[in-house]
Every structure is written in structure tokens, then in C-alpha cells.
Amino acid sequence: MDNFYLNEIVAEIAPVIRGRLITRISMDGTDLRLDFGGSRLGLVARLAGDDPALFLASERSGKTTAKRSGVDAERTVSGSGYRFLLQLRSKLVGAGLTSIDKDPYDRVVRITLRPTDESATPGSEVSLILILTGRSVNALLTGTSGLIEIALKEAGPIQIGSPPPPPRIVALDPSALPEIADQALTPDDILGSYFRSGSSPFGKLYQMEFLFRCSSSSPSLALRSLLEDLFIRKRKPIIYTSVLLDHLVEGALNLEPVRRPATAERTSATEIGSPAGVPSPGSDLILSCIELATAEGLARYEFASFSKAAEIYSEAIATAKSWRERHRRLSSALEGRLKKLRAARRSIESDLARFSDAAKLKRSGDLLLANLSTARTEHGVAIVKDYYDAGEPFIEIEIPKDQTLQQAAADYYQRSQKATRAIKTLGPRAKEIGKQISRTEELLASLQQQPDIKRIEEVEASSGFRRDAGPGLRSRTSTAGRGAPAGRRKSSRGQRVGIGRRFLSSDGYEIVVGRNDAENDAITFKVAGSLDVWLHAADYPGSHVVVRNPSRRPVPQRSIVEAARIAAFYSQARRQGKAAVNYTQKKFVSKAPKAKPGLVRLSSFKTLLVEPTIPSALDQSNEEF
């Protein structure tokens, strides 16, 4: 919100709130809200460094705030913000607002209030000063002495007990406008004099507008036209955007643009999307109090109220930031998945190379048996005649020193059979992972362009990632907690952070493995859903294993077998050649009263006989995805 627009906001809302009593003070993130008695009126000061704003909240904002009121909303406030809020409440609730003013050429709003307990004392007013410049200090309260008593961010010259910063002095005389057009000034001369000095009231928005106007007129005339728009002509609340506002602001269907965006056609309200993509605040989502030549081609909305336009703009900004954050997280999630898949492919390729000598192993076994009566053994090798070679040369075959030729041959046959089975299994897995890599690369490439709302939703649906509460993303198999502050994150069904080892099956299903009895209990009764597949080694102590099934469709048998092999590996049956593993849906798993952690009973289950091992194609990682 620029300096001149903020002038209009304060002038508009001052008559509405002057003389009213503050009945409630609240904060939601960086939004400080003062509510006044006798109506649903509320003054919102957005204290964000990248989007400072001030407006009267309408009934639509009141409903939104009500959903996040009280403790739930205040959980989003930082520690210093919460302390500031408590002090404001103790000093200002019940106070009457006597005036609200703005520094002429700076985004500093000064609200004067008279506490009820001192209302009979002349000069007993206190001041709430909102510094909406995006600087380090953005809100402070001065007492009756005129000195700062509390500050939201204390830094630099702003100290408790010191005077508040005085209004900035700007040497700007609008009456000198006619002389400006008669001067032969260059753009650099004007930028240095009007836009780049420390006392300039113009922000980046008007600097860009001036340079754009220079393309069609002389620099002096471009500056004159800009100053006339700001100081002489009547200002009006305007929002420029590359997409229609009903794509960004809930309930904005009754808003019709004066001019539609040149690059987008209107779509139905239920089909959010636009070829123009997600607007960037400041470039193709702009709040202005004058008509901007730089915004040609954008949709243009005009409002009857500066406060209403500011409120709608703030909601649009929040939505645009949310979509961009979803785009960033989705790209990051796809990059993480691609990294895991590529690591799995490298592991499979390594195993395929290691098992590619199945024929050679069988040949060694054949030759050992064919040379039982003639072979010589010395220093761990058997010297045998190679009957597969036409010349029948003598070759050396390694054998363990403690084995006979028959035992060594049996070992070579066993290794050959294992390699053959591995190749049959790993080949299809390599092909499947290759397809997943190609698909993930395609999805990631589609996000490398300008963020687009419709494209983000399509990639979320295609990739299996979905939107979390707020702007975040989580996988269908994610266990990321949400909604609680750092250090106090709560758990919910299917959402626990840092619990268990984690694997990704060949079919893309998350496999969670408990590390101890406490984690076994948590995985089974706090993470697993009723249709998730639960596994445990039969008749042996071991880890609880869960195959997450958010799609609620039957889990592929290949993923169940892979999870069973993992369950056998993380049990006391690990050293068995084959181990039995029981599996069932989690809804058939229960816990007896007062049972020790990790002890459960099954009302129905099936059993698999598997080799205890971690399948080589699986990505072994304890990181969440």
C-alpha cells in the first residue's frame, strides 16, 4: 500500500471510527485488529514487511476472522507479537479513539486514544503508532508522557523510554508543477531529484510509472502528468490484476471489472484457472489510487471505497502468495521424489550388474562336478578342465577352503539360482521405476514455467501430492503434522513427524517401520488408517510395519510382499532363510487392556513366507516425503 493510497484510507475511515471505544484487540499472524463497540466494525493493520496495509474490515472479513479467533488465531502470532498484544489489551481495551492521522509523506499512522480510567484528566491521551513501511519497527505505543512504552519490534533508534520518530519532512511543492514542464530534464535528473532521495514520498510503483510514461512523452511532461494525477485530480481506488478477482477472492463473484485482462477469458467460478498464471504482487496485481499506464492489458476494478478495495486486495495478495507457495512446495516435493527414484534405479542397476553372471556361476558349478575325480585344489582354488571351451584348457575356480568340490558346486548353483530370480524381479522393477522417473520429470518440467493455478492443481492431482491446510503440500503418503506451532506439534491419524523408518515401495506406497515398542504402538494406533496394511513377523518379536493406503483401493500384492520382507528383516527371524509374516488391514488389529507397548491381537490375518531382507529396489530413507 503506497503513501498516497494510505492518505485516502485514513481520510476515509477517520470519521467512521473517531469517538468509538475499543472493545477487543486481537492478532492473527501479522494482522493487528481493533474492534469497536456498538457494531461489527474492526480496524485491521497488516504489519507484514512485504505487504503493509490498513483498512476497515467488512462483514466478510469478520466471518473469516471469527473462524480463527481466540487461541487458535493467536497461535500464529510470534512470541514477541503475543507479548505486545497482551500489553496493548491491558492499556487500550475500553479506551476511546479521539483521532487518527497519517504523516503527510510517509506510511506512518498515528492513532490517539483516551483510556477510560483517565478520561477526566486533560492531556491523558496515548498514541498507537503504526509504521507501515516494512521497516524493522512496525508498531509502538506511547504513554501520556509521549515516550515509547511498548513496541512490537524494538530496534535501531526505537527504544523503550525514547520519543517516537518524528514525521518525515519532504520538500515537495505541488504548486511548482507548471515550471517542471518547461525544464529540459533527463529521466536520471528527475529520478535523482524526486524518486531516489531519502525524503522522496514516491515509492517503486510511481517510479516505474514515471519511466513508462517517459516512453511516450518528454521526462518533464511525464513527471508533470504523474504529479497532476497524484495531487490535482481526484484519486480513486483501483485494483489491477492479470486474472479475474473471483479467481483469487472467495465470494467476489459480484465484482465486475471495468476492463478485462487482455490475455484471459472469463471462466466459470468453479473452474479456477487462467492462462495468465498466478499474479505477482506489485507487477500484475496492483493496488493504486490513480490510473496506471504500466497496467495496460491487466483487468481493472474500481471501487466506491478505498478501504473495501484495500481489503479485497489484501485477500487477493494472500491467495496469490498461497498459490506461489504451493507451486514452490510442489516443485520441491517432485524434485525430492525424483531424487529418490533415481537413487532406487541406481541401486537396481548395481544389483543387475552384480547378478548378471548367473550363467557363469552355473557354469562353474557344472565344471566342478564334471572334474570331481581330476580337479586339483590348492590355496582356495580348484584347477579344472574347461569342457565348455573347444581347447579344454585348465582354469581356476575359487572355492572356500573348508568346502568339498560337491559343496562348492552346490553353492555356485544356489548363487546362480538367486541371481536368476533377482534378474527376473529387478528387470520389471527397473522398467517401472523408469516410467515413474519419466512421469515425474514431465510433471516437474511443466512447473518450470510461470506458475499457473490450473497447472498447479493438475500436477497435484497427477503426482499424488495434495494441498495441505494453508499454502503447503503433502503427499498422499505424507505424515507431516499441521496446524500446531513449532515445538508443540500435535499428532493426528495418519500424521506423525519423525516416527519410524520409511521406505517407498515399487508401486509408490509408503512403508513405515517401527524402531521400538513405543513407535510400534504409535505406528499402529496413531499413524495407520483402518484400510492400511499391517504386518508383523509370525512367532518372532519384531517391528510393526504399515503400508499406507490413502487411496483406499486394494494395495498391490508386490508392495505387500516387499513390506513383508522388511517386517521379517526387522525381527528376530532375520537370520532365517524363510520367515512367516502375518498381514491384515489395520482395522483387524486391536490392543488388549493394560497390554504392554507393542503387544496386539489380530481378529483376522493372512500369512506370507518370505526371505528376510530389504528389497534392493526400495529407497531406504528415514526422511519424510
Q: How confident is the model at residue 624 (pLDDT cuts 50, 70, 90)?
A: very low
Segment among 66-75, 112-121, 178-187 with least mean pLDDT: 66-75
Q: Cα dihedral angle (360, 366, 367, 372), rounded to 10 degrees?
A: 150
Tell me 419's DSSP state.
H
Could you give the CA distance from residue 24 to residue 36 in angstroms, rounded to a whole number?
Answer: 7
Nearest residue to 114 (alpha-carbon basis) of 106, 124, 122: 124
Report helix, strand or coil for 579. strand
Could you give the CA distance from residue 454 to residue 457 in angstroms, rounded to a whole number?
Answer: 5
The enclosing H or E element of 179 equals: helix 177-180
Which percentage of the chain shows pLDDT scores above 70? 78
Could you give the CA distance from residue 276 to residue 267 in angstroms, rounded to a whole number?
Answer: 13
Contact of 602 with 589, CB cutoff 8 Å = yes
Could you give the CA distance from residue 336 to residue 315 in angstroms, rounded to a whole number?
Answer: 31
Could you give the CA distance from residue 194 to residue 207 in angstroms, rounded to a whole number?
Answer: 9
More confident residue, 388 or 59: 388
More confident residue, 306 or 248: 306
Report helix, strand or coil for 510. strand
Could you give the CA distance from residue 353 to residue 164 in angstroms, rounded to a whole number?
Answer: 73
Q: How confident is the model at residue 152 (pLDDT cuts 50, 70, 90)?
A: confident
Could you give the CA distance from residue 89 to residue 400 in angstroms, rounded to a whole number?
Answer: 82
Segment among 110-124, 151-165, 480-494, 554-568 with least mean pLDDT: 480-494
Handedness of CA 342, 347, 352, 353 (dihedral sign): positive
Q: How confident is the model at residue 20 (pLDDT cuts 50, 70, 90)?
A: confident
Tens digits of per-residue pLDDT, 49-102? 777 888 888 765 544 443 433 444 444 555 667 788 888 888 888 888 888 888
Contact of 499 with 511, CB cutoff 8 Å = no
Tens digits of per-residue pLDDT, 555-596? 888 899 999 999 999 998 888 888 899 999 999 999 888 788
Looking at residue 457, its pLDDT comes to 75
Domains of the chain and any CATH numbers: 3-151 (2.30.310.10), 174-321 (no CATH), 476-621 (no CATH)
Q: Cα dihedral angle (523, 525, 530, 531), rounded to 10 degrees?
A: 20
The enclosing H or E element of 350 equals: helix 306-354
Q: Is residue 480 over pLDDT 80?
A: no
Tell me 549's DSSP state.
-
Looking at residue 545, its pLDDT comes to 94
What are residue 589's DSSP bridge partners? 602
Contact of 500 with 515, CB cutoff 8 Å = yes
Most confident of 31-45, 138-152, 220-234, 520-534: 520-534
